[in-house]
Each structure stands twice: as C-alpha cells, then as structure tokens.
C-alpha cells in the first residue's frame, strides 16, 4: 500500500490498449481533479508503458507480470493502492469535467452504499445509452441481466429519465465506483471470472 492514501483512485486496466490510452486518457487526466489516476498494465507489448512514461508522468503505473485478465488484473493492482474509493474505469471511456464528484459525495453521505455507477451513454451516439451498463444493471425473474436504458439490443434515448439515484442489482465494470474496504472485505473480484482483456 502507498504511504499517502487518497480519497479516490481512478484505476484503468490496460492490455495492449495503446490506441485507447492515446485517445481517452487525456480526458480522464484533465477532468478528474483531486483524484489519483493509475494505469494497471497486464504486461502489454504495444508500447503502452513507454507512452505513459513519456506523455503522462503524473499517472502512476502498476505493471503486472502477465495478462491476468480483468478480474485478477484488478485484484493484483488494487492491493497496491491505498484509497478510500476505487473507480474501475475502462480505457475507452471519455469523461466530462467533475464527473466523480456527485458519486463520491453520495457515497460519503451514505455509508451503506458500497458500489455505484454513473449513467453511461454512447460515444458515437451520445443521445442514447451505451450497451455496457446504461443507467444501471438489473436482473429479471428468470435471471437475465438488463439495464435501465437497455433491453437486449434495444438502447433507449437519454431524455433524462434516469437522472436519479436508484438501487440497482449490478454495476458495470466499465465504470464502477467501489469502497476499498468493501472490495477487499469481499475478497475482490472472483479470479475465475477471467474475462480476458483483449484487443483486435
């Protein structure tokens, strides 16, 4: 663990995602004031590490010695980060200014909230929700997952209908806020759910 804990650590897991770091990391760094930004790298071979070292010296790098996939990759990295809140963020997410503040304020006000996710909209069609998470995850009576704003392949137009605070069944790993003590208290994410990080 680091000697100087931060309130919020934004952690991006990377494996050969140089092109995503080039495109999306600038918005994360510019729009995440007061947060520590960390890239946890799963042994990339595409020049991700030299790129980060040259262009983003303010970003902390955690280098895993292999591609451990999404779950164990995060588990290994988060054991090395001393923060009250972790934000697990995909490398291909664009974020607006002040994006972390409302959620951290909400979690600070209610200790019963362990995990949160923001509303996620499509980058290509920003008037519509993004498939990966939309307005928060639910589960139907047969055990099928869906989202507020997404049912199977149908994505709703974002008209502000989910601009609220609501209890959901699951949060997307594309952008998930989690209390560090809850994460570690539950043993992290089950490593057998490899969900390999891959790039075309």
Nearest residue to 164 (alpha-carbon basis) of 113, 98, 119, 97: 119
Tokens representing 196?
A: 């390999």
- Residue 191: C-alpha distances to residues 41, 114, 183, 194 (Å): 16, 20, 13, 6
Which CATH superfamily includes the segment(s) 1-115+173-200?
Answer: Spore Coat Polysaccharide Biosynthesis Protein SpsA; Chain A (3.90.550.10)
Please count the other Cβ atoms lying within 10 Å of the Cβ belonging to residue 84: 15
- Are the C-beta atoms of residues 159 and 43 closer than 8 Å to each other? no
Residue 91 has pLDDT above 90, yes or no: yes
Confidence tier at 4 by pLDDT (50, 70, 90): low
SS3 147: strand
**pTM score of the predicted model:** 0.92
Tokens representing 88?
A: 């697990």
d(CA 200, CA 192): 23
Higher pLDDT, residue 143 or 197: 143
Residue ranges of the chain assigned to CATH 3.90.550.10: 1-115+173-200
d(CA 165, CA 50): 40
Tokens representing 149?
A: 């704003």
Lowest mean pLDDT among 23-27, 67-71, 74-78: 67-71
Calculate the CA 82 to chain-centre distance. 17
Cβ within 8 Å of residue 23, ≥6 positions away: 92
Mean pLDDT of 105-113: 97
Confidence tier at 6 by pLDDT (50, 70, 90): confident
Residue 1 has pLDDT above 70, yes or no: no
């Amino acid at each position: 663990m680091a000697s100087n804990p931060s309130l919020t650590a934004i952690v991006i897991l990377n494996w050969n995602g140089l092109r995503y770091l080039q495109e999306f990391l600038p918005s994360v760094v510019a729009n995440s004031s007061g947060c520590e930004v960390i890239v946890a790298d799963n042994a990339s071979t595409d020049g991700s590490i030299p790129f980060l070292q040259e262009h983003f010296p303010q970003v902390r790098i955690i280098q895993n010695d292999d591609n451990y996939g999404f779950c164990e990759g995060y588990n290994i990295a988060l054991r090395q980060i001393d923060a009250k809140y972790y934000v697990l963020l995909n490398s291909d997410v664009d974020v607006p200014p002040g994006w972390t503040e409302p959620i951290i304020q909400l979690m600070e006000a209610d200790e019963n909230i362990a995990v949160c996710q923001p509303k996620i909209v499509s980058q290509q069609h920003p008037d519509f929700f993004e498939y990966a998470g939309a307005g928060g995850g639910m589960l139907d009576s047969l055990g099928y997952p869906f989202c507020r704003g997404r049912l199977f392949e149908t994505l709703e137009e974002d008209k502000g209908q989910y601009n609220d605070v609501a209890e959901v069944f699951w949060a997307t790993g594309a952008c998930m806020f989690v209390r560090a003590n809850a994460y570690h208290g539950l043993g992290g994410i089950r490593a057998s759910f490899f969900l390999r990080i891959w790039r075309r």
